[in-house]
């Protein structure tokens, strides 16, 4: 069974498979408890990226739960 990757609680970036720390926000908590998945390819042309305040292309979680 595949392990759910971590997502940053600050920017919601879904981290690479083995990563346990966000390179953009090293002090922010990360969690495997996240839901929703959006891929942003060109943030400057994306209405969704604008609504989510995403400025860098990547894979993002819509909601990240940190306990």
Domain range holding 42? 7-64
- 2 pLDDT band, cuts 50/70/90, is low
pLDDT tens string 7-64? 999 999 999 988 999 999 999 999 999 999 999 999 999 999 999 999 999 999 999 9
Residue 2 lies in a domain: no
Percentages helix, strand, coil for the chain (3-state, rounded to 5) are: 15, 25, 65
* Cα 50 to Cα 4: distance, rounded to the nearest angstrom: 26
Contact 12, 5 (CB under 8 A): no
Q: What is the DSSP letter of 45?
A: G
Residue 35 lies in a domain: yes
Name the β-bridge partners of 64: 34
pTM score? 0.89
Coil, helix or strand for 54? coil
Say how far residue 49 (Cα) sits from the centre of its chain.
12
Supply the CATH number for residue 55's domain: 2.20.28.90
pLDDT tens string 4-21? 899 999 999 999 988 999
């Amino acid at each position: 069974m595949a392990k759910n990757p971590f997502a940053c609680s600050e920017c919601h970036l879904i981290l690479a498979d083995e990563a346990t720390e966000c390179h953009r926000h090293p002090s922010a908590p990360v969690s495997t408890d996240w839901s929703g998945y959006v891929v942003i390819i060109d943030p400057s042309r994306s209405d969704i990226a604008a609504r989510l305040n995403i400025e860098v292309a990547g894979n993002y979680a819509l909601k990240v739960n940190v306990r």
